[in-house]
């Protein structure tokens, strides 16, 4: 979340207003929901890869 740390409150307000102007008030909740689902799926896939990678490393160490 390093990007959001640099934006600050004024930048966040500008982003929200820009999204509101582009997508409109009716589509904004749908967009937020879609982004939330995308982030959850990404986290699941990344954590699954990390677990498989750790398992393989542990197995390699046991073989040696």
Q: Where are the domains of the chain?
A: 25-49
What pLDDT score was predicted for residue 37?
A: 94
Rounded (5°) CA angle 27-31-36: 150
31 token code pair: 């967009």
| pLDDT tens digits, one per residue of 31-40 | 889 999 999 9
| pLDDT tens digits, one per residue of 38-59 | 999 998 888 876 555 555 555 5
CA dist 31 and 37 (Å) reads 10
Does residue 25 register a pLDDT over 60? Answer: yes
Better-predicted residue by pLDDT, 30 or 6: 30
Distances (CA, A) of 16 to 23, 26, 28, 33, 51: 10, 14, 10, 15, 36
Does residue 62 register a pLDDT over 80? Answer: no
Residue 8 backbone zone (phi > 0: left; psi -120 to 50: alpha; other: beta): left
């Amino acid at each position: 979340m390093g990007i959001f740390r640099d934006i600050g409150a004024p930048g966040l307000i500008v982003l929200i207003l820009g999204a509101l102007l582009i997508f409109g008030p009716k589509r904004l909740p749908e967009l937020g929901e879609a982004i939330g689902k995308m982030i959850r799926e990404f986290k699941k896939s990344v954590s699954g890869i990390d677990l498989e990678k750790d398992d393989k490393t542990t197995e390699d160490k046991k073989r040696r």
